[in-house]
Structure 1
Amino acid sequence: MELKHADEYLEKIGWGKYSWKVFFQCGFVIYIQAWSNDNLWNNNIAYILAGSRVEWELTGIESGVLGSAYALGLLCGGFIFGIIGDKFGRMYSFKTTVLVALISSLTLTFSMNLYMSSGALLLIGLGMGGELCLAGTVFCEFCPPSKMHYLTTMAIFWGIGSTFTAIVAYIITLKNTTEYHEWRIIVGISCIYELICFVFRLFMLETPAYCLSQGRVEDAENVLNTISLQNTGEPFYLDSSLKNKITGSFCSRDNIKPKSGTFVLIRKLFQGYNLKLCLIFCIMYISAGFPFTSILYFMPTLLGNISQSTAYGIIILQQACGIPGVFIGSWLVDTRFGRKFTITLSFALASLCCFFFYIGKNIILIIITTSIMNMFVIMGYSAMFTITPESFPIEVRNIGSGFVNGCSRFVSIVCPIITGWLLDQDNGFPIAVIIFAILFGLCAISAFPLKETRPLPLKKGYLLNA
C-alpha cells in the first residue's frame, strides 16, 4: 500500500518545478545525467576501441576485450547497486555510482596499456550499470502516474548524449594537433561531465515511495512537502491517522539485520510473478543489447574504408536520428499501442532495417539504413526503460531493474569479441547482420507476455491501471 499512497500524493501535488528538476537531473548529461552517461560511454567505447587499436597495435579480439571489460562492469554494477538502492536508499546508491565512474574515467584517461585500460573500463561499467538501473527508479518514484510518459521522453538524452559525444569526437579528430591520441581527449572531457553530475546529485532528496516503504514517514512527508512547495507553492502534510498506521506497521523493521535484508530482497525477486518478469526482461534486454552494442562499438569498421573524421560525421547523423525516435515512442506509449506494443513495433522495424543493411551496395544506402535503424532501436529502448520499473513492485523495484540490466550485459561481455572475430573473417559481415536481425525480432516477440502498465485516464479522482 505504501507505493499506492506515494503515487496518490504525487498525483495530487501534480507536475511542476521540482518535477522538471528531477527530469533533468536523471536525464541530462551536462546538467546531471544517468542514462545519457551510459550512452555517452557506449559511444566513447567505440572511439576507445578504434583509437587504442591503432595506439597499441591491438588485434580485433584484443580490442574487443576492452568492450567486454566495460560490459562485465555493467553486469556487476546493475546487480550490486540494485541491492544497495533497495537496502540503503536510492540516493545513497545514486550518488555513489557517479563517483565510481568519475574516479575510474580519470584513470582511463591516463592508462598506459591494455590491462590498465581494461581495469578502468571495468570500474566505469560498474558505475554505469548502477546509473542505468537507478535513473528509471528514481524518476519513477518522483513522477505523478499520469505523467509517466516523461520517463519515456527521458530517453531523448540517449540521443543527446551520443550525438554530443560524436560531435566532440569529430571536432577533436579535425583539430587535434597534440601528441595525445583523440580517444584520451574524449575520455578526459567526459570526466568533466561526470564531475558536474556528482556535484548536482549531492542535493537530490530520497524518493517518497522508498521512505514510506521503510516506515520513514516523517522523511516522506518532508520530501513531499518540498515537492509541493516548489510545484504548487502550497505546503503538504500527511494525515495524522495514516502516519500512525504506516509507522506502526513498520516499527519492527529496526531489528532486521542488513544481511538478512539482502537475502529477503533476493528471495522476493525470484518468486512468483517477479521471477517471470526477470526472465522476460532478460530475454528482451539481451536480444536487443547484442546487436545494438555490436553496431555501436564497430560502426567505424562496418562503414568500410573511409577516413576517421568522415566516420565520426556519419555517426553524428546516425545518433541524431535517435532523437525523433524518442518523441515517437513517448507518444505511442500513451496510445492504444501502450508500452509493450511500442516495443514490439520498434524492434520489428529495426529487424527489417537489418535486411536493407545486408543488401546495401553503397555507402549512402548504408548510412540511411543504419540511421533509421538507430531511430527504431532508441524508440524501443525508451519504451523498455519505461515498462521495466513500472512492472516491478517497490520492495524489489531497484534490485529487479538492476538484475535485468545486469544480466542483459552478460551477452555484451562476449558480443564485442564475437563481433570483432566475425568482422575479421572473409564473410563475417553478412553473418553478423543476419544475427542482428534475428535478435531484434526475438526482442519484439518477447514483449507479448508482459502486462501493460500504461495508466488509464483519471476518473472521479482515481488513477486506473490497465
Structure 2
Amino acid sequence: MTDVRPAAPSLSDRMERVPVLTRSHRTWMVLLGLLLFFDQSDINAFAFAAPAIREDWGLSVADIGLITAASFLGMFAGSIAGGRLADRYGRKRLIIGATVFYSLSSLASAFAVSVADLAVYRVLTGVGLQAMTVVLLTYISEMYPRRLRGRVQALILAFSVLGIPAAAGLARWVTPHGPGAWRWIFVAGAGGIVIALVAQLTLPESVRWNAAHGLGSASQAVVTRVEEQARAAIGGDLPPMEPLPAPVPASPRELLRPPLRKRLVVVSTYMALGTTVFYGFNAWMPTLLVEKGFTTGQSLRFSSTVALAACPGALLATLFIDRVERRTAVMLINLVNAALLLVFALVDSYPVLVAAGLLMVLTSQAGVACVYTYLPETFPTRLRALGAGIGNGAGRLAVFASSFLIALVLSRLGDTAVFVCLVGAAVLAALVMGMFGERTRGRSLESLADGASATPAPRTVEGTAR
C-alpha cells in the first residue's frame, strides 16, 4: 500500500483551491485539445485510406484486417510503456516525445511500398498514439482542480473528436486524385509535430509530478501565476487551502497490492469490456448493416450520419460529469447502450436504426469523457500514468482479440448474435463499474491515492461542485 504522511499546504493544495479556469488553464486546454485532435485523426487515418490502398495494391480484406489488428497491438504496447516512462521521466516529456514519434511514424507510412512495411509503420504509429493519449489524460487530471477536471476532460474530448470527420473529409478530397494520392492522408497525420513544438515552449510540466519527484521549485512560478489569474478573475481572495496527504515514493509492485490491486483489476476489466463494445459498434456497423440486408450505400450513410453525434455526446457529459458520481454515470450509460444494441438485434427498420445509432454514439461519447476522467483519478501520482496505461492497454488488447471473435460469430451465427454478444459485454461492463468502481467525484487525487474517505467538495464561486 502506498504510504502517505500529513503535509503542510503544498503546490497541490494551492492548485486544488483554484475555483475557476484561468487564462493559463485555457491555454493548456487549447494545446491539449489540438494534440488529441491529431491523435483522433491519425488513429482513424488508415480506416479512411484503406479502400484506396486496397485498390492501388490489390489487397484482400485479410490484408486490411492484418494491418488494423497490428495497430491495436502497437497501442497496447504504447499504453503501458508510455505510462511507465511518464511516471519516471515526466508527463510533458512523454506527451511531446510520443507525439513526435507517432507523427514521424505516420509520415513513414506515406512512403510504404508493401503490406509488411505499412503494418510495421502502423504498429509504431499505434505505440506513439496510445502513449500520448494515456499520458495526456493523466496530465489533465493532475493540472486541473477536482471540481473542474471532469468538464475540462469532456470539452477537450469534444474538440478532439472533430479530428475524425476532418480525416474523413481529407480522404474524400485527396483519394480521387489518382493512385498513390492516399499517401497524403498520412502526411497530414504528421501535422501533430507542429503542435508538439508549440507545446514544448508553452506547456509546463505537471505540478504534481514535479512535487512528487522533489522538483517543486520548478513549478512555483506556474502555480503563482495561476493563483494570480484566479484572484483577478473572481475579484477577491481564493478559498482557504485544505492540506492534503503528500505521497512518498512507490514502485510498480504497489499496483499488485491493496487497495491498488483491486482498482487495477476493475479498470482493466471494465476497459476490456467497454472498449470492445465501443469499437465493436463503431468499426463493425457498416458490415453488420450489410449483413442485415441493407445496401452498402445505406450502410455508409448510416455511419456518416451517426458520427455527427460524437462531438455533442462529449459536450453532453459537461452537464453531469462533475455533478454525478462517475462510476454511476458510466454504469448507467453502459446499460443504455445495452438497450440500444438490443434494438439493433431485434429491429430491421432503417429510420429506427439511425435514431438508435445517433443515441448510441451520443451516449457512448459521453461515457468516454467519464471514463477518460475516471481512469487516471484512481491511481497515485507516482503510478498514475502506468496504472491508467495498463487499464487502457487492456482495452486495446481486447479490441485486437474481439475483432477475430466478432468475425467468427458473424460468419457462424449471423449479425443478431454479434449484437447479442455486445449487449452482454455492455451489461457486464456496467456491473463491474457500478459494483466495484471507486468513488472519485469531488475528491482530490491525493485523498484517492491511498483510499482515504471522501470529503464533500465545498461549493465554489461558480457552483461547480455539488
Question: Does TM, normalized by the shorter one, top 0.5?
Answer: yes
Inter-CA distance 20–459: structure 2 relative to 1 (3 Å threshold):
closer
Structure 1 residue 146, shift from structure 2 partner: 1.8
Higher helix share: 1
Question: 1:146 & 1:100 partners in 2: Cα distance?
Answer: 34
1:443 aligns with 2:429: yes
Question: 2:348 & 2:459 partners in 1: Cα distance?
Answer: 55
Number of equivalent positions: 430
Question: 2:417 & 2:156 partners in 1: Cα distance?
Answer: 34
Does the 8 Å CA contact 2:313/2:362 hold for their aligned counterparts? yes
2:118 is matched with which residue?
117
1:11 is matched with which residue?
16
Structure 1 residue 422, shift from structure 2 partner: 4.6
Amino acid at match of 1:133: V
Amino acid at match of 1:431: A
Question: 1:295 & 1:50 partners in 2: Cα distance?
Answer: 20
1:176-325 map, 5 Å: 176-182=176-182, 184-192=183-191, 194-203=192-201, 204-229=203-228, 231-232=230-231, 265-304=251-290, 306=295, 314-325=302-313
After TM superposition, the score normalised by the length of structure 2 is: 0.83
2:452 is matched with which residue?
none
Question: 1:129 & 1:3 partners in 2: Cα distance?
Answer: 36
Structure 1 residue 110, shift from structure 2 partner: 2.1
After TM superposition, the score normalised by the length of structure 1 is: 0.83
Q: Note the residue ranges of structure 2 that are not aligned, 5 or more in a row.
A: 1-5, 238-242, 443-455
| Among 322, 326, 332, the residue aligned to 2:314 | 326
Amino acid at match of 2:110: T
1:138-153 map, 5 Å: 138-149=139-150, 150-153=152-155
The range that moved more, 364-373 or 265-274, is 364-373
1:355 is matched with which residue?
342
1:164-183 map, 5 Å: 164-172=166-174, 176-182=176-182
Structure 1 residue 437, shift from structure 2 partner: 1.4
Structure 1 residue 421, shift from structure 2 partner: 4.7
1:69-108 map, 5 Å: 69-108=70-109
Does the 8 Å CA contact 1:65/1:416 hold for their aligned counterparts? no
Inter-CA distance 95–147: structure 2 relative to 1 (3 Å threshold):
same
SS state at 2:161 partner: helix
Structure 1 residue 307, shift from structure 2 partner: 5.5
1:393 is matched with which residue?
380
CA-atom RMSD in angstroms = 3.1
Does the 8 Å CA contact 1:37/1:128 hold for their aligned counterparts? no
Question: 2:171 & 2:14 partners in 1: Cα distance?
Answer: 45
Amino acid at match of 1:187: F
Deviations 1:38-79 (A, max 9, x none): 432343243244444444444433322112111111111111
Q: Note the residue ranges of structure 1 that are not aligned, 5 or more in a row.
A: 237-241, 254-263
Inter-CA distance 24–385: structure 2 relative to 1 (3 Å threshold):
same
Does the 8 Å CA contact 1:70/1:125 hold for their aligned counterparts? yes
Amino acid at match of 1:329: A
1:37-48 map, 5 Å: 37-48=38-49
1:261 is matched with which residue?
none
Inter-CA distance 365–341: structure 2 relative to 1 (3 Å threshold):
same
Inter-CA distance 391–172: structure 2 relative to 1 (3 Å threshold):
same
Question: 1:447 & 1:464 partners in 2: Cα distance?
Answer: 24
Does the 8 Å CA contact 2:210/2:219 hold for their aligned counterparts? yes
Deviations 1:84-118 (A, max 9, x none): 11111111111111011111101112211211111
Structure 1 residue 458, shift from structure 2 partner: 1.4
Question: 2:55 & 2:11 partners in 1: Cα distance?
Answer: 53
Does the 8 Å CA contact 2:147/2:465 hold for their aligned counterparts? no
Deviations 1:160-218 (A, max 9, x none): 22233333334446xx2333354x333332222x2232222212111111111111121
SS state at 1:198 partner: helix
Structure 1 residue 395, shift from structure 2 partner: 1.6
Amino acid at match of 2:188: I
Does the 8 Å CA contact 2:56/2:180 hold for their aligned counterparts? no
Question: 2:431 & 2:276 partners in 1: Cα distance?
Answer: 16
Inter-CA distance 217–105: structure 2 relative to 1 (3 Å threshold):
same
Deviations 1:368-388 (A, max 9, x none): 322221111111111111111
Question: 2:403 & 2:460 partners in 1: Cα distance?
Answer: 53
SS state at 2:372 partner: helix
Does the 8 Å CA contact 2:459/2:465 hold for their aligned counterparts? no
Does the 8 Å CA contact 1:16/1:231 hold for their aligned counterparts? yes
Question: 2:173 & 2:8 partners in 1: Cα distance?
Answer: 47
Structure 1 residue 121, shift from structure 2 partner: 0.9
Question: 1:307 & 1:119 partners in 2: Cα distance?
Answer: 30
1:260 is matched with which residue?
none
1:258 is matched with which residue?
none
1:256 is matched with which residue?
none
SS state at 2:417 partner: helix
Deviations 1:294-338 (A, max 9, x none): 333334333436567x76554333222122222222222233x32
2:129 is matched with which residue?
128
The range that moved more, 338-347 or 225-234, is 225-234
Inter-CA distance 433–224: structure 2 relative to 1 (3 Å threshold):
same
Does the 8 Å CA contact 1:11/1:144 hold for their aligned counterparts? yes
Does the 8 Å CA contact 1:166/1:313 hold for their aligned counterparts? no
Question: 2:279 & 2:9 partners in 1: Cα distance?
Answer: 37
1:338 is matched with which residue?
325
Deviations 1:2-31 (A, max 9, x none): 79833421134442110011122222xxxx
1:428 is matched with which residue?
414
Question: 2:187 & 2:8 partners in 1: Cα distance?
Answer: 41
Deviations 1:267-291 (A, max 9, x none): 1222111111111001111101113
Does the 8 Å CA contact 2:92/2:204 hold for their aligned counterparts? yes
Does the 8 Å CA contact 1:169/1:312 hold for their aligned counterparts? no
SS state at 2:458 partner: strand
